[in-house]
Chain A
Amino acid sequence: MNRTHNKALADDLVRPLFHTSVWFYAIVLAAGTVVACGAAAWGYQLWYGIGVAGIRWPVFWGFYLVNFVFWIGISHAGTLISAILRLVDAGWRRPVTRCAEVITVFALMIGAMFPIIHLGRPWLAFWLFPYPSAREIWPNFRSPLAWDFFAINTYLTGSVLFLFLPMIPDFALVRDRSTGWRRRVYGALAFGWRGTTKQWNRLESAMQIMAIAILPVAVSVHTIVSFDFSMANVPMWHSTIFGPYFVAGAIFSGIAALIIAMAVLRKTLRLEGYLLPLHFENLGKLLLLMSILWGYFVFNERLTVWYGNEPHEMAVFWATQRGEFAPFYWTMVVCNFVIPLVLLSNVYTRTITGCVVASFGVLIGMWLERFLIIVPSLAHKQLPYSWGTYAPQPVEITIMAATFAAMVLLYALFSKFVPIISIWELKAGQLTAPQGHATPAHSGAKVAPEAGG
């Protein structure tokens, strides 16, 4: 690959930063309006009290916690795709990693909002920080909610670093192509990157360390989210399978979110030359694998409960299997298992469209899965006298819609200000392609002077 080609590639990928289409403003305006509605809904809830939401006795957790688990699940996209594929040095990952890492960071930020929104007294949420206070009391480290607090903060810090590190050379590239205030901002973000061999080596080691470190953190974070449920002696929550079941589900929904994000970016930013059918094909295969794994976990969970035939658990089991929650349950099975299995198991439908359709199914199905874990169990606890039901209220639905809009908004803004495809990694990949086994560190060093200037 020659310098002219590299220049054309960089031109192509930084174009969205310097040329704004009217669509960008339209998307930002539309998504921003919905986010503003969500903020207003939260303000309304803060003013009048958490009672404006639909939660009630005995279903004390509702839509907010469903969305919390859903978004934390989505955040597993970046870690899996990026860290694992980076560690095994899968060449096809290069245009995909940053799209995935951005989903992680934004989904975590959105997900971490929900435990605060759902609190009865959210203005006291800071009491979960272990700090020496006049109250002379620490957080209760026996509580899974305290574990959650630390797990999510660790994961958020880790994924921000993991996202930021490989952006540094691209910030330098943008810095060198821009003038005025942009040059100063990107210059500050580039941390004085000049593309020396030493810098490349350090960057590569730092990324390697982060890729290894982020994996156990990602697994632990969703395991701990599952502990919020499995630690409590509530029918069909108190299960040892929840840890791996939640992690598998999280990765499953994360891949689906990534496929949708990539398909949207491909069209809106004209990245057809970079996000190839091959990438969708490979991610589609991963999605298929996770769909089968998810089906295996659900089968395990359901079969053991049914065979054990414990009365408290059977009440929840039948409520989801053929009672009032059955329509949601069977929609979930179709969306998470039947649709991906049919669409992705043959080459004729494992196209970009097929992958996107399956991914939408998975997102709907995985959202329903979290709903079906939380609500039916709380509605059918041990004493039949205290059984109840739950229906979401407008404020909960508005805030939920606002979080989806927030994802669109943050993603649109990010792809406007940062090259959404890692330019230097793509170049490094093309440079090493003929040799096949050169490390990106060496190849990067050769590309760097051009990338920087």
Chain B
Amino acid sequence: MAYRWGMAVDLDKCTGCEACVTACRAENNIPTVGDLQAARGRAMHWIRVERYYEGDFPDVRVKFRPVLCQHCDNAPCEAVCPTYAAHQNEDGLNAQVYNRCIGTRYCANACTYNVRFFNFFNQEWHKPLHLQLNPDVSIREVGVMEKCTFCIQRIKAAKTAARIENRAVIDGTLQPACAQSCPTTALVFGDLNDPNSRVARLSRSPRGTKLLEDLGAEPKVTYLQKQPWYEPDAQ
């Protein structure tokens, strides 16, 4: 049976600690562009924690929203790529083939979530920082678009191990770096095709919404939060 990887993000649990952001950088060899380039809008973070403020001082509430590639079923980035660098793979991931990318950056413009990042320069890891690179993940060269892969290298390894033992990937044993490092387990990853997986159950929750759902991209990431109409106090 084919997998369909997805994620549930519990906003009521998220503390905004950004452990996911750090773990993602380490796992996926995401370059640190430096303060000058970051100020010029070239910082890369496949997952970011957006902060939204509600109310007036001093009665202010901060809301955190981790935003990563939503791996849309009907992805706007895929159709516009002239070289099939952005495409939907057999597991429903929005895969990005770096070697096919010629750098039109059309996918990043079409993406309504702005979760695609571009290599404006060739990146360097000065010694001894080169030792921190993950050997399972390729380094991207100048002019190439990159984005969250749901840690495809881990997915491949888990699928291979499962195939050797002639079984399906067991729910909960496979986690991308962000979900693995989340101290409050706000990020839950798994197979949406398995109706009993944790992520599938959470995605059906009445607390669940999709980001910019009305645009019709059909994201595979569900955001869970206490809904105003669901609050017992509100009634």
A386 and B80 in contact (CB under 8 A), knowing A57-B41, A121-B144? no
Decide if B105 touches A61 in the complex (CB within 8 Å): yes
In the assembled complex, B16 has its CB within 8 A of some CB on chain A: no
| Interface residues of B, count at CB 8 A | 43
Q: Hey, what's the 0/1 contact readout for B105-121 against A, CB within 8 Å counting as 1? A: 11011101110011111
Q: Hey, what's the 0/1 contact readout for A117-132 against B, CB within 8 Å counting as 1? A: 0111110110110000
In the assembled complex, B212 has its CB within 8 A of some CB on chain A: yes
Q: Hey, what's the 0/1 contact readout for B33-46 against A, CB within 8 Å counting as 1? A: 00001001111000
Decide if B118 touches A57 in the complex (CB within 8 Å): yes
Name the distance in Å between A254's Cβ and chain B's nearest Cβ: 26
Could you say which of B19-27, B96-104, B182-190 contacts chain A? B96-104
In the assembled complex, B215 has its CB within 8 A of some CB on chain A: yes
| Residues B87-145 near A (CB distance < 8 A) | 100-106, 108-110, 112-114, 117-122, 141-145
In the assembled complex, B174 has its CB within 8 A of some CB on chain A: no
- A58, A119, A146, A228: the one within 8 Å of B114 (CB): A58
Q: Within the assembled complex, what's the spacing in Å between the Cα atoms of A59 and B117?
A: 11
Q: Hey, what's the 0/1 contact readout for B137-178 against A, CB within 8 Å counting as 1? A: 000011111000000000000000000000000000000000
Decide if B79 touches A143 in the complex (CB within 8 Å): yes
Decide if A383 touches B104 in the complex (CB within 8 Å): no
Name the distance in Å between B91's Cβ and chain A's nearest Cβ: 20
In the assembled complex, A233 has its CB within 8 A of some CB on chain B: yes
A121 and B83 in contact (CB under 8 A), knowing A51-B121, A61-B109, A232-B76? no
In the assembled complex, B206 has its CB within 8 A of some CB on chain A: no
| Residues A107-121 near B (CB distance < 8 A) | 115, 118-121
In the assembled complex, B50 has its CB within 8 A of some CB on chain A: yes
A121 and B121 in contact (CB under 8 A), knowing A139-B83, A232-B109? no
- B67, B110, B119, B120: the one within 8 Å of A232 (CB): B110
| Residues B45-103 near A (CB distance < 8 A) | 50-52, 67, 76, 79-84, 100-103
A139 and B80 in contact (CB under 8 A), knowing A381-B114, A383-B113, A388-B41? no
Q: What is the chain A residue whose CB lies nearest that of B123?
A: A49
Question: Residues of B contacting A51 with CB < 8 Å?
Answer: 37, 42, 120-121, 142
A55 and B76 in contact (CB under 8 A), knowing A137-B84, A383-B114? no
Decide if A124 touches B120 in the complex (CB within 8 Å): no
Q: Hey, what's the 0/1 contact readout for B200-233 against A, CB within 8 Å counting as 1? A: 0000000000011001000000000000000000
Question: Residues of A contacting B100 with CB < 8 Å?
Answer: 127, 135, 137
Q: Within the assembled complex, what's the spacing in Å between the Cα atoms of A128 and B52?
A: 42
Name the distance in Å between B172's Cβ and chain A's nearest Cβ: 31
In the assembled complex, A145 has its CB within 8 A of some CB on chain B: yes
Q: What is the chain B residue whose CB lies nearest that of A229?
A: B109
Report whether over half of chain B's contact residues are helix, strand or loop; otherwise say mixed.
loop
A382 and B83 in contact (CB under 8 A), knowing A120-B105, A233-B110? no
A120 and B79 in contact (CB under 8 A), knowing A49-B121, A56-B41, A232-B109? no
Q: Within the assembled complex, what's the spacing in Å between the Cα atoms of A2 and B43?
A: 74
Question: Residues of A contacting B67 with CB < 8 Å?
Answer: 383, 385
Name the distance in Å between A271's Cβ and chain B's nearest Cβ: 43
Question: Residues of A contacting B83 with CB < 8 Å?
Answer: 127-128, 137, 139-140
Decide if B80 touches A120 in the complex (CB within 8 Å): no
Question: Residues of A contacting B145 with CB < 8 Å?
Answer: 120
A382 and B142 in contact (CB under 8 A), knowing A119-B104, A139-B83? no
Decide if A127 touches B37 in the complex (CB within 8 Å): no
Decide if B105 touches A382 in the complex (CB within 8 Å): no
A143 and B144 in contact (CB under 8 A), knowing A57-B118, A60-B108, A233-B110? no
Name the distance in Å between A339's Cβ and chain B's nearest Cβ: 32
Decide if B102 touches A125 in the complex (CB within 8 Å): yes
A121 and B102 in contact (CB under 8 A), knowing A51-B120, A61-B109, A383-B212? yes
Question: Residues of B contacting A328 with CB < 8 Å?
Answer: none
Q: What is the chain A residue whose CB lies nearest that of B65?
A: A385
Decide if A382 touches B112 in the complex (CB within 8 Å): yes
Q: What is the chain B residue whose CB lies nearest that of A58?
A: B114
Decide if A145 touches B82 in the complex (CB within 8 Å): yes
Q: Hey, what's the 0/1 contact readout for A39-51 against B, CB within 8 Å counting as 1? A: 0000000001111
Name the distance in Å between A46's Cβ and chain B's nearest Cβ: 10
In the assembled complex, A355 has its CB within 8 A of some CB on chain B: no
Q: What is the chain B residue whose CB lies nearest that of A390?
A: B41
In the assembled complex, A84 has its CB within 8 A of some CB on chain B: no
Question: Residues of A contacting B215 with CB < 8 Å?
Answer: 233, 382
In the assembled complex, A451 has its CB within 8 A of some CB on chain B: no
Q: Within the assembled complex, what's the spacing in Å between the Cα atoms of A125 and B101?
A: 10
10 more contacts with CB within 8 A, not counting A58-B108, A143-B106, A383-B113, are A48-B121, A49-B142, A51-B121, A120-B102, A125-B102, A140-B79, A140-B84, A145-B80, A145-B104, A383-B114
List 8 contacting pairs A-B, 8 Å CB cutoff, sorted by A.
A49-B142, A58-B41, A120-B103, A120-B142, A140-B79, A140-B84, A146-B82, A234-B110
